[in-house]
Structure 1
Amino acid sequence: MASKEQVIVAAQEADDSSGNNGSNPNQPTTYGANRNPSSDKRFFAWFDANDGPLERRTITKLDFFILSYAFIGFWVLYIDRGLLTNAYISGMREDLGLFGNELVSLSSIYSAGYCISMIPATLFLTRFPAQYVIPTTILGWGVFTILCFRAQSYGELAGYRFCIALLQGPYFCSIHYILGSWYRKDELVRRAGVFYVSSSVGTMTTGLLAARIYQSLHGALGYPGWRWMYLVASCITFPIAIWGFFSLPGTPRDGKRWFFTEEEFGIAQERMALQGRSNPKGFTLSKATLKRFLGRWHFWVLVPWNIQWLMGYLSMATGGPTLWLRAQPQYSTVQVNNFTAISPSIGIVLIMTFSWVVDKKGRNAILPVIAVACGIHFVSKFAWILYDTTSFEYKWFATAINYIEVSLSPINYSVANLACAGDAEERAFVVSSMLALSTAFNSWVSFVAFPTVQAPRFFRGYVMEAVFQITYVGWTAFIVWFSNRQDKKEAERKESDIGDAAGEKSG
């Protein structure tokens, strides 16, 4: 084994040989990307202390064009997706005769469509430019949101919801794939947090927007307020889709966009090369590809982890707390729609806090953050499990804090992005599989755990959620331990390789 001094010298020589010192014209051009991110992680600093001016300018452009579009696109997705519950409590239930389990059925139909398209569409991005694929899907779901305006029956509405889900399925995983294509590991979780804040803003906006539309447009031109909700949402969707064709950077493999100079695009590519982040070679369905995807630990460990996470907050997806608010006779329809904005408002603070702490403190912060969030969420579940004996205030606390586990999303998907950094196609597959298979569970578990006719008690569902708080924390502890072990082995292997190379050179 080489000494520490030999390892350092060999590493420095390897760095020097990869740069363009002018003596070898065949060497690739280097642009001065930060090779050694600072160990001094100032908590409120946005850039690393060792990032140069060109790199900071490049990061700023990436932040603006990726995060702004990711944020606004997911915001409108959550509006189009989340209007179902608000429409249901605003007259759609009576107009379409949805007096049984139709609400949970519509949620399950949406989940089925959402998970079907997720994996193939995300892998699609390894062959085709994301800046064209993603805006096209947004245009598509905007069309079907308009059609919800005219739905006359449960079956018709279910068909439109399924098509919306098919077209919305690619968005979340595709954005995470794009984030993982541009950002270093010390930058990624914060950006994922900024992106995911849009889900809270979208959920919050949905309630406030629904309340305002119901107040202002209920009965206008002979249409009830819930129909106007879908029409207004679609009018927001189309301009955002069109903007994406011009502003979304896609991935480095897709080529330079108009807002990058050659130097900025070069340093962006260099940053990812230094992270070991590879460009996709283009997905092809073959036995070798499936063996590559399923032969590593990433799929088998990260997918079950994500399923436990999603099952732990399934009541939010099925409208559990909203149906409790609707059951309170002292609240009007407008008030209930407004109150649905409280939980996601708290979620905005939680998302940014959790993601920022993990980005700054590293992997060792993951388990404490998740344990604290799940501990609070676990306690809140007993407001519903012991429904007949808990106070009104306790139930309100559980309703308000309901977003706390959802707020861990940037951590889950960033862990997957970093674990699969060296294989772009596997990264797309694992990230999309995490959400697709979790959503597949959602499509049938919600029937068993949260049938609408049991609202607002849902005893079985809330017991299930409490159990998953415990298993999710335990699985997180295993992932952190296993990842640290894998990194230690990889570091020892690299040190050995560098030491052997230095010994050969000195010999």
Structure 2
Amino acid sequence: MFRKAKPAIQIEHRSAEEKALVRRLDMFLLTFGCISQVIKYLDQQNINNAYVSGMKEDLNLYGNELNYFTTYFNIAYCLMLIPSQAIMTYVRPSYWLTGLEITWGVITGLMALAKNAKHVYVLRVFLGLCESSAWPGMMTLLMHWYTPMELAKRMGFYQSCQTLGYMMSGALQAAIIATLEGKGLSGWRWLFVINAIMTVVWGVLGFFMLPDVPNNPNPRAFWFKKVDAELAMERLARHGRAEPKKLSWAGTKRAFSGWTLYFIAALYIATVHAQGGYQYFNLFLKSLTNPDGSKRWTTEEINVIPIAGGGIAVAFVWIWAILSDTLRTRWTLIITQSLIGLIPAITMTLWTSNPSSVPVSAAYAAYFISYLSLGTAPLIFSWLSELIPQDPEARSLIVGTSVAGYYAVSAWSGILIWPASEAPYYRCGWQTALSLWLVVIAMTCVLRFVDVRYLMPKRKLFVAEVLHGDAVQESEIAPEHDDDRDVDSLKGKDVGVAVSRV
């Protein structure tokens, strides 16, 4: 189950044409996704910036309206995730993803015209419906275009753009408001207008930047050559991946009746919630006082210090992803991050239960260490791509279900586990994180065992049939110890070494 791979690092030999294709995919597909992700985060967060910059007073928002803005957005986001994944198999991604991005850009602009909370509620619902397509849709596209030695890095870069958006949002939004305040509109209304323009312009470019899928490339993608489609299909076959197909009722039934969807979704939900403590770093900083009772940190410092943690997160999301592709392993790095995640969970459990027994410097260190373990999502979905390469329908639904499940759990778990009234001495927050990290370790080990014992033989049969075009009997599969060789060896006599290790 946990045997050492041989060799530790594999080099994938690619032709000059293939390297050129990957460079163009990075330049257009990945660039579009990354910048779109930053813009999406800005559009999600601008409601908070606007609220503290005059929106509250202008619209008479003196109750819990801000909480409801988030609630309505999250409900709509959650409801549309799985349908969006299904629709994307019928509608070109260059139409669907970019069309929705342009739509949510227009909706963002309409926020500038809001006269009361009810207007904002309606717009936030439609904003959630449109934005739900972006993250899972792009993750699914990356699975279609990149090989196992390329995928985790690209997913990692894409994932890190959430944090980059967080790091940029405060300064960018403040600059917009400070520059345009009172010039025809209130500063907070200009905030929505500028964000809308950015979103719509970038969305229009997506019609030409997204390549769609290998077996049905985008004819408007000027950078995509005819030979690239043939090469992309060859890459799918070489690495044992089935070509993308429209989601069928049989595929939907197969996905939801199998254990993989629920197990991967549970693993993803557990990891993201295990990481959740870092989000409350600012509340920890705000609670600290000097010996004379004065605040230890100013409001500006409370907002700036966590940005350093964001920088750590970006760097390590990249590091984990690069190591994953280089070493050709997913599960070991998920466990490594979980073990690192246990350090702040244990430290803060002790600190919150008895602050006098643990120095506050340890709490500072724990919060910064918690940013090291935010790179699990790219590894989980890269692993998913390798667990069931023969079923693109299930992969698409699993990604959507995982994210929808996370939002569904988040809708009620935050107020129970991390109530603001208990900050920073959460009664069960860090204990829950500790428990979830242990669950993640156990689930990862179980999934690794099931993969080696049951899933690899099925993948080997599928890859052999793809490459040879003939049915291959299970008795022809080589012994399990050969599973660590490169998939290209299937082009020879030994069909038992088809599957890249995970």
TM-score normalised over the length of structure 1: 0.79
**Where does residue 443 of structure 1 map in the other structure?**
411
**Where does residue 476 of structure 1 map in the other structure?**
444
Helix, strand or coil at the partner of 1:280: coil
| 1:18-57 alignment, distance < 5 Å | 41=9, 48-57=11-20
**Where does residue 313 of structure 2 map in the other structure?**
347
Q: Deviations over 1:339-363 (max 9, x none)?
A: 4432221111010011111112223
Pick the aligned partner of 2:224 from 260, 282, 300. Answer: 260
**Where does residue 200 of structure 2 map in the other structure?**
238
| 1:337-376 alignment, distance < 5 Å | 337-363=303-329, 365-376=332-343
1:497 paired with 2:459, answer no
Conservation of the 8 A alpha-carbon contact between 2:90 and 2:247: yes
Helix, strand or coil at the partner of 2:46: helix
**Where does residue 27 of structure 1 map in the other structure?**
none
1:273 paired with 2:276, answer no
**Where does residue 505 of structure 1 map in the other structure?**
none
Question: C-alpha displacement at 1:176, in angstroms?
Answer: 1.1
The separation in 2 between residues aligned to 1:41 and 1:263, in whole angstroms, is: 30
The separation in 2 between residues aligned to 1:334 and 1:376, in whole angstroms, is: 28
Q: Deviations over 1:204-263 (max 9, x none)?
A: 11122234345545555562x544433332232121101101111111132254322222
Q: Structure 1: which 5+ runs fail to align?
A: 1-37, 43-47, 503-507
Tell me: CA distance 1:239–1:381, structure 2 relative to 1, closer, same or farther (3 Å).
farther
Amino acid across the alignment from 1:55? E
Amino acid across the alignment from 1:483? D
Question: C-alpha displacement at 1:96, in angstroms?
Answer: 5.4
Two-structure CA RMSD over aligned residues (Å): 3.2
Helix, strand or coil at the partner of 1:149: helix
The separation in 2 between residues aligned to 1:357 and 1:471, in whole angstroms, is: 23
Amino acid across the alignment from 1:369? T
The separation in 1 between residues aligned to 2:52 and 2:424, in whole angstroms, is: 13
Conservation of the 8 A alpha-carbon contact between 1:210 and 1:229: yes
Conservation of the 8 A alpha-carbon contact between 1:207 and 1:341: no
Helix, strand or coil at the partner of 2:263: helix
Conservation of the 8 A alpha-carbon contact between 1:72 and 1:198: yes
Pick the aligned partner of 1:204 from 161, 164, 167. Answer: 167
The separation in 2 between residues aligned to 1:241 and 1:411, in whole angstroms, is: 28
When structure 1 is superposed on structure 2, of 430-439 and 390-399 the one drifting more is 390-399
Question: C-alpha displacement at 1:90, in angstroms?
Answer: 4.8
Give the percent of matched residue pairs that are identical in Structure 1 and Structure 2.
23
Tell me: CA distance 1:371–1:40, structure 2 relative to 1, closer, same or farther (3 Å).
closer
**Where does residue 74 of structure 1 map in the other structure?**
37
| 1:284-433 alignment, distance < 5 Å | 284=248, 286=249, 288-314=250-276, 320-325=280-285, 329=295, 333-363=299-329, 365-379=332-346, 381-382=348-349, 385-386=352-353, 389=356, 393-433=361-401
Conservation of the 8 A alpha-carbon contact between 2:346 and 2:430: no
Amino acid across the alignment from 2:280? G
Helix, strand or coil at the partner of 2:247: coil
Conservation of the 8 A alpha-carbon contact between 1:207 and 1:340: no
The separation in 2 between residues aligned to 1:253 and 1:373, in whole angstroms, is: 41
Tell me: CA distance 1:459–1:229, structure 2 relative to 1, closer, same or farther (3 Å).
farther
Amino acid across the alignment from 1:232? I
The separation in 2 between residues aligned to 1:157 and 1:417, in whole angstroms, is: 39
Conservation of the 8 A alpha-carbon contact between 2:153 and 2:318: yes
Conservation of the 8 A alpha-carbon contact between 1:177 and 1:431: yes
| 1:223-234 alignment, distance < 5 Å | 223=186, 225-234=187-196
RCO comparison, higher one (Cα < 8 Å, 6+): 1
Q: Deviations over 1:378-437 (max 9, x none)?
A: 246438734854655445445544544432221122122222321121111111111111
Tell me: CA distance 1:339–1:110, structure 2 relative to 1, closer, same or farther (3 Å).
farther
Amino acid across the alignment from 2:387? A
Question: C-alpha displacement at 1:488, in angstroms?
Answer: 4.7
Q: Deviations over 1:254-306 (max 9, x none)?
A: 2254322222221111110222222233223x3x3343112333112111111
Amino acid across the alignment from 2:352? I
Conservation of the 8 A alpha-carbon contact between 1:252 and 1:269: yes
Amino acid across the alignment from 1:372? L
The separation in 2 between residues aligned to 1:393 and 1:99, in whole angstroms, is: 37
Conservation of the 8 A alpha-carbon contact between 2:211 and 2:224: no
The separation in 2 between residues aligned to 1:396 and 1:273, in whole angstroms, is: 49
Tell me: CA distance 1:275–1:491, structure 2 relative to 1, closer, same or farther (3 Å).
closer
The separation in 2 between residues aligned to 1:64 and 1:492, in whole angstroms, is: 33
**Where does residue 95 of structure 2 map in the other structure?**
132
Helix, strand or coil at the partner of 1:186: helix
Question: C-alpha displacement at 1:76, in angstroms?
Answer: 0.7
Question: C-alpha displacement at 1:450, in angstroms?
Answer: 3.8
- The alignment covers a number of residue pairs equal to 455
| 1:91-240 alignment, distance < 5 Å | 92=55, 102-217=65-180, 221=184, 223=186, 225-240=187-202
Q: Deviations over 1:34-82 (max 9, x none)?
A: xxxx96737xxxxx45111111111111121111111111111111113
The separation in 1 between residues aligned to 2:65 and 2:354, in whole angstroms, is: 24
Conservation of the 8 A alpha-carbon contact between 2:261 and 2:398: yes
Amino acid across the alignment from 1:138? E
Amino acid across the alignment from 1:278? A
Tell me: CA distance 1:174–1:343, structure 2 relative to 1, closer, same or farther (3 Å).
same
Amino acid across the alignment from 2:108? T
Tell me: CA distance 1:345–1:102, structure 2 relative to 1, closer, same or farther (3 Å).
farther
Pick the aligned partner of 1:248 from 202, 210, 219. Answer: 210
The separation in 1 between residues aligned to 2:29 and 2:222, in whole angstroms, is: 14
Helix, strand or coil at the partner of 2:148: coil
The separation in 1 between residues aligned to 2:286 and 2:213, in whole angstroms, is: 44
The separation in 2 between residues aligned to 1:490 and 1:407, in whole angstroms, is: 29
Tell me: CA distance 1:381–1:76, structure 2 relative to 1, closer, same or farther (3 Å).
farther
The separation in 2 between residues aligned to 1:208 and 1:202, in whole angstroms, is: 10
TM-score normalised over the length of structure 2: 0.80
The separation in 1 between residues aligned to 2:296 and 2:91, in whole angstroms, is: 53
The separation in 2 between residues aligned to 1:94 and 1:261, in whole angstroms, is: 54
Tell me: CA distance 1:423–1:370, structure 2 relative to 1, closer, same or farther (3 Å).
same
Conservation of the 8 A alpha-carbon contact between 1:358 and 1:366: yes
Q: Structure 2: which 5+ runs fail to align?
A: 1-5, 289-294, 462-471, 479-492, 494-502
